[in-house]
Amino acid sequence: MTIRQQVIHRIANTKNNQLLYELLAFLDERERLDPDRPPRGSYEAIMRHAGTISEEDAKEMTDIINREFNNIEGEW
């Protein structure tokens, strides 16, 4: 089940009207502040970039990340 489907399912099954009002107010405020911005963590926003990097470049990026961030230096 996708995140969107999970959210829709949970909203459809809630009995808490106050929560629904708060959720609607939150969504209204987000749209008012920046109507064209996709929400953070938006699956659709990320998927727009799918396939835009070569396998070779992706491997190089993965190698750099692993080399630079997966080693603990110093005393812990």
Q: What residue spans define the domains of the chain?
A: 3-69
Helix, strand and coil percent figures for the chain, each rounded to 5: 65, 0, 35
Can you read off the two tokens belonging to residue 30?
């987000």
**Tokens 């190089």 found at:** 60
Q: How far apart are CA 15 and CA 11, in angstroms?
A: 9
The pLDDT tens digits of the residues spanning 33-71 come to 887 776 666 777 778 888 888 889 999 999 999 888 887
> What's the pTM value of the predicted model, to 2 decimals?
0.43
Q: Is the separation of the CB atoms in 9 and 1 below 8 Å?
A: yes
**CA-wise closest residue to 23 among 34, 37, 11, 36:** 11
